[in-house]
Structure 1
Amino acid sequence: MKLKVRNQARISAFFPAYRSSEGLDQGIRVTETLFQNLQEDHERLKKRRKWSLSPLVARAQTNEFSRPAAIEKRPLLEVDWQPLLFAELGTLKDEAEEVSVLDYGADPEGKVDSTQAFKKAMRRGGRIVYVPKGTFLISGLKVPSNTAVIGAGETETLLLLKKETPKKRQGIRNRNLFTGNKRIRLEGFTLNWDASRFDESEPSSSGGISSSGITLAHVQFALVRNVKVIDPGLHGVDVTSAFYSYKGDGTTSRFRSAYIWIDRVEASGFGDDGITTHHSDYIYISHCFLHDPSGRTHEKGFSNSNGIEVDDGSRHVVLHNNATENCFGGVEIKAHETSSAAFDTQIIGHISSSDNRSYNFRHIGHHKGEDADSQTASGIRATFLVAEAPTWTPLYRDSEPRALVVSAYNKVSITQFLTVDEKQVPILAIQYRARQVALDKVYFKGKKPEVRLGKKTRDINVSEIKQWSGTEFSV
């Protein structure tokens, strides 16, 4: 079953309205009305508008919340910047030369390294490179601007990293980190990074932005669609800046990526996260399935391996119709202490199954005790979320299961939220310095969840939790 249909069917089994454009839009509007009624902390808002500038960090350019995504009887969910992306990719399609990687000596039987054949086929860009059915050995591809790499399908075209490939190498990344790249399209293949090349006693990644399946670093206008990533050392797909800068909360790195669409991607066996974003803007992640990480980036038993992670300095990210399974976190929206938090995130339809923390929203180092308040952890809108059987995981052996955790974040609205657990009581924890958090239309199937509110939270509103009947939020 295709990922889009699979995910939609699983979510709409609990929320019937989710399967229709009308119902989806109505759910989004309910969440947006709740969001607009939340008053963002005034002092925090003033600080965010003064995000700092230094030689290594850039002043934030986009500090306001995005217009909510919507269907409005169209076949696609539309986000504000999608027409711009379509125009840029249309230019690539109209102007690029079409070639086959076979014309440059690639071996579809997987006996000879085809890396140089791909390099010659891509040239300096301006190429649509078709990759036919077969197995192609590579040692990492660097894709220039104005380039598409299109396979015959995830079950037909396999790109396999050869055993001698260095651990630091990404399977595929854009070619120019400092000057950046534009208009890249990757579609229709399976990429096997093959972390089993390295002994299980050692970490599967080498640090920084290395060792991922697909890395887009300092890229504008890219589409990754109908791709499967298997056993990457670090992340399945990483949308990021070229180099991180951790100069503190309120700062943001240069060399950011922007206008990136990750669509119908499946990742498994990842050492850290399935799909992750860092220091980038305007990202849309849709119809993806992230599951069964290895956690090998981290020390055994302390692996924060998430299905989808919206991380340090990310802004304006939309997640739609995704699924995660057997991860530490299903969806984690967060930042480390020395970075700005992810800002302005929308989640529209997600099912988390057997993840330890189904939905985990936090700014590390800015929520406990005498920690400084976060300047940037703000703006989460979420609707049609299913937390199915949060469970203990050996990935992070000391972490107790949670259906929802909100820490430090300000202005959070969540509606149409369902817990499903027949064995144990799910926990909804709104804790530490969470502010202006509203949960409405919360349901349960099985055990009724327990809501835990921290002493330092403020302006928290959780509606009555009702038993699921199978007709919730029908239109």
Structure 2
Amino acid sequence: MLRLDETHDPYQNGQLIAEYTETKSNGEAVLRAEQLMKDSPFVAPRRTPHPSRYLRSLISPLFLTDRDKHILPLTKAFVSEQDEIRPSWFGRLTYEFEQLISNVEKVDVRTYGAVGDGITDDTLAFKEALADGHRQVHVPAGTYLVRGIRLPSYTILTGDGKGQTILKLHDAAPKGRRLITNQNYLLGNHHLLVERMTLDWNIDRIGDAKKSSTWGNHSSCLTYAHVTYGWVFDVDAVDPGLHCFDISTPYYNYNGDGARANLSSSFIWFDGLTGSGFGDDGITTHHSDHLFISNCFMRDPSGRAHAAGFSNSNGIEIDDGSRDVWLFNNATTRCFGGLEIKAHATSSAASTVKIVGHLSVDDHRSFNFRHIGHHQATDPTSQTAYNIIATRLIAQTPQYTSLYQNSKPRALIVSAYRNVVIHDFTVLGDPYYDYQEQPMIGIQYKARNVTLSQVKMSGFRQAKTDIQVFGGDNRAEDIRLIDVRIEDSAKHGITIGPNIEHVRLANVAIKGDGTVGLNAKSEPELERFIATGYKVPVRTHATSG
């Protein structure tokens, strides 16, 4: 089995992913996934008026709430000649990058008195070097102690490489301090680039504090809040109290499903980032649009931003109100969630997310797509949990974690989301690991229009079910399992709960020596389905009634 450690090069993610997936290229994979979405019974986003949400939006400060915007449409991916996936708006980002690099003066921070000896406070030198922007500040190899850096518009901060140029928070910096952020949250900033360095939040300065962060989006290594046109390339983040990298607004918004925070960030590209020891998430996004995250690797969170045993610390988290987010060839390991797309109950869900290539190794929940508070039959249906396309995913050995002690491992959860396509999904378990009779893939809790296509799954010998579609009053609906291969895995191959009206299984072959191949309490539509080796190959409502 594959294991990823601190020596892993994130630019090797794509090569590793290609070794596990079945499609020949990224271009082939994304085109097929987009077609599957087009062919599905697409659920149009809707917004139902809700009195409590309306009242909360009136009470909240007007500049914190955006009540007009809703769901952005899915757009086609651009595929380069090198088989790299790019967002539909990538040309605009490229043009603005050229504007940035042609409108800055090159300076060296040591010219302004920076020492970089790991002892001297270099904060003032950075402030003077950055001035009012329109500068590319070179930071030579060394360890620079700072009390926080704020970037004006048209700024490039360039080091000599990860582990060579180190920016480290001063021992006297308060716990809520962000190591790097933009200068003006109210008016916003634009055209910012940070590259080729390590960011050390200096966790040792807070001692044995039970919680490593303060509030909101404070206590992170790098935060872009109300930034338009921002880039972060080849940066390592170490031991932040909250997040390694955060694309955000100045303030989070919890005024209900359908509301979004104003002052959002947009057109941001993160590439080649690594992070570890984070108190909450490695990379996270909130209430921001048009984001691209590629070739990144997040591992081994501390979880210290949460109470012990209750840490939802994800490698990459696309969170409240994020829209039109693209992820390409990323990797995570030993996190609570490898990749989580979600929202809190009192916020809008992340929506319109496209994933091409993600390698999850030993994460607790490899892929976790959910809108909290919109699960039970009595909960309101989510107004914003829509539109996820994902292809070339690998979930290897999801497992229990001390980060969240009572949680159960999963390779995939789709909960409350509508219009979801998962294509070319490789799921590998450890046949000797005790999964404690759990299902490994769950399509559940009001999920609608979900397609799983070209799924290859094996090794979950100690699990109860490989794939479970949950029924009941909060059942999933309009589910398609197409081109699925399960071999030598759980006791039950596929389980379908009661009261589900539309489930289709096509080109499905499951082989094992467990109890039941297909255990269906609803009546699925079967087309070229075969189950071999199980004590009961097929058990349906009709055969058991």
The letter for the 2-side match of 1:5 is Y
What is the CA–CA distance in structure 1 between the aligned matches of 2:10 and 2:203, rounded to whole Å?
Answer: 28
Decide which of 476, 479, 484 is 1:457's aligned counterpart: 476
Matched, 1:3 2:9: yes
Deviation for aligned residue 1:190: 0.3
- Supply the AA of the counterpart residue of 1:12: A
Matched, 1:444 2:444: no
Is the partner of 1:232 in helix, strand or coil? Answer: coil
- The answer on whether the counterparts of 1:3 and 1:287 sit within 8 Å (CA) in structure 2 is no
Whether 2:440 is the aligned partner of 1:427: answer: yes
Query: Which of 19, 25, 33 is equivalent to 2:27?
Result: 25
**CA 460–75 in structure 1, closer or farther in 2 if over 3 Å, else same:** closer
Q: d(CA) in 2 for partners of 1:32 and 1:137?
A: 47
Aligned to 1:143: 151
1:40 aligned partner: 42
Report what 2:400 is aligned to.
392
Range moving further from structure 2, 114-123 or 420-429: 420-429
Are the structure 2 counterparts of residues 45 and 36 from structure 1 closer, same or farther at C-alpha, using a change threshold of 3 Å? Answer: farther
Q: In the TM superposition, what is the alpha-carbon distance from 1:72 to its structure 2 partner?
A: 4.2
Alignment of 1:254-403 (within 5 A): 254-403=262-411
- TM-score when scaled to structure 2? 0.82
Contact 2:23 2:424 in 1 (8 A): no
1:158 Cα deviation (Å)?
0.7
Q: Over aligned residue pairs, what C-alpha RMSD do you find?
A: 1.9
Query: SS at the partner of 1:450?
Result: strand
Task: Give the drift of 1:30.
Answer: 1.0
Structure 1 CA distance, aligned partners of 2:75 and 2:181?
A: 31
2-structure distance, mates of 1:301, 1:378: 30
The match for 1:218 among 220, 223, 226 is 226
Per mean C-alpha deviation after superposition, the further-off stretch among 265-274 and 237-246 is 237-246
- Residues 122, 72 of structure 1: alpha-carbon distance in 2 compared, 3 angstrom cutoff: closer
Per-residue deviation at 1:270? 0.2
- TM superposition shift of 1:76: 3.8
Judging changes above 3 Å, is the alpha-carbon distance between structure 1 residues 162 and 72 closer, same or farther for their aligned structure 2 residues? closer
In the TM superposition, structure 1's runs of 4+ consecutive aligned residues that sit over 6 Å from their partners are: none
Q: Separation in 1 of the partners of 2:209 and 2:134? A: 43
Instruction: State percent identity of aligned pairs.
Output: 41
Instruction: Report the secondary structure of 1:121's partner residue.
Output: helix
Cα distance in 2 between the residues matched to 1:294 and 1:120: 35
Code of the aligned partner of 2:440: I
CA drift of 1:74 comes to 4.1
CA deviation digits over 1:104-162, x for unaligned, max 9?
A: 00012122111110110000111100001111111110111110100011131111112
Match of 2:79, SS? coil
Partner Cα distance (1:300, 1:285) in 2 = 29
Deviation of 1:5 after TM superposition, in Å, equals 3.5
**8 Å Cα contact 1:334-1:341 kept in structure 2:** yes
| C-alpha separation in 2, matches of 1:45 and 1:151 | 47
Do 2:78 and 2:88's aligned partners in 1 also have CA atoms closer than 8 Å?
no
Q: Relative to structure 2, which stretch is displaced further, 201-210 or 421-430? A: 421-430
Q: Which residue of 1 aligns with 2:129?
A: 121
Q: CA deviation at 1:15?
A: 1.8
Task: Describe the shift of the 1:416–1:224 C-alpha distance in structure 2 as closer, same or farther (beyond 3 A).
Answer: same
Matched residues in 2 for 1:60 and 1:348: separation?
30
Alpha-carbon separation, structure 1, partners of 2:71 and 2:385: 12
Distance 1:366-1:207 versus aligned 2 partners, 3 A rule: same
Q: Residues 369 and 199 from structure 1, CA distance in 2 versus in 1: closer, same or farther, beyond 3 angstroms?
A: farther
Q: Distance in 2 between matches of 1:389 and 1:245?
A: 35
Report Cα offsets for 1:372-416 as digits up to 9, x if no partner. 000000000000000000000000000111000011000000110
Decide which moves more: 275-284 or 200-209. Answer: 200-209
Matched-pair contact (CA < 8 Å) for 2:191–2:228: yes
User: Relative to 1, partners in 2 of residues 1:4 and 1:301: Cα closer, same or farther, differing over 3 Å?
Assistant: closer
Contact 1:151 1:189 in 2 (8 A): yes
Q: 2 CA distance for matches of 1:299 and 1:459? A: 38
1:451 to partner: Cα distance: 1.1
- Report the TM-score when normalising by structure 1: 0.93
Is 1:31–1:383's contact at 8 Å kept on the other side of the alignment? yes
Aligned ranges 1:68-147 → 2 under 5 Å: 68-74=76-82, 76-147=84-155
CA distance in 1, matches of 2:8, 2:74: 30
Contact 1:28 1:70 in 2 (8 A): no
Is 2:279–2:304's contact at 8 Å kept on the other side of the alignment? Answer: yes
In structure 2, give the amino acid aligned to 1:206: T
**Secondary structure in 1 aligned to 2:233?**
strand
Q: Is the 8 A contact 2:106 2:135 kept in 1?
A: yes
| 2: CA distance, partners of 1:62 / 1:88 | 26
Higher mean displacement: 33-42 or 179-188:
33-42
Q: Note the alpha carbon deviations across 1:72-95, whole angstroms, 9 max, x for none.
A: 424642212222122112112111
- The whole-number CA distance in structure 1 between the counterparts of 2:454 and 2:10 is 25
Unaligned runs of 5+ in 2: 1-6, 489-545
1:249 aligned partner:
257
Amino acid in the other structure paired with 2:303: G
Matched, 1:181 2:189: yes
Q: Distance in 2 between matches of 1:126 and 1:62?
A: 35
1:195 aligns with 2:203: yes
TM-superposed deviation, 1:232: 0.4
Deviation at 1:452, TM superposition (A): 1.3
Answer 1 or 2: higher relative contact order, Cα 8 Å, separation at least 6: 1
Gap change, CA 1:93 and 1:144, over 3 Å in 2: same
Which residue of the partner structure matches residue 154 of structure 1? 162
Q: Where in structure 1 are there 5+ consecutive unaligned residues?
A: 470-475
- d(CA) in 2 for partners of 1:451 and 1:343? 24
Q: Is the 8 A contact 2:271 2:293 kept in 1?
A: yes
User: Structure 1: how far apart are the matches of 2:9 and 2:352?
Assistant: 26
AA aligned to 2:11 is V
Query: Displacement, 1:16?
Result: 5.7
Q: Give the AA of the match of 1:211.
A: S
Partner of 2:18: 12
1:1-37 Cα distance to aligned partner (Å, 9 max, x none): 773432112211212645xxxx211110111111112
Any conservation in 1 of the 2:414–2:442 contact (CA below 8 Å)?
yes
Cα contact 1:170–1:213 (8 A) shared by 2:
yes
Letter paired with 2:345: E
Which residue is equivalent to 1:473?
none
Compared with structure 1, are the counterparts of its residues 445 and 451 closer, same or farther at alpha carbon in structure 2 (3 Å cutoff)?
A: closer
Give the counterpart letter for 2:467 in structure 1: V
Matches of 2:16 and 2:210, distance apart in 1: 37
Looking at structure 2, the residues matched to 178 and 64 of structure 1 have their Cα atoms a distance apart, in angstroms, of: 25
Which has the larger Rg? 2
Q: Distance in 2 between matches of 1:75 and 1:462?
A: 27
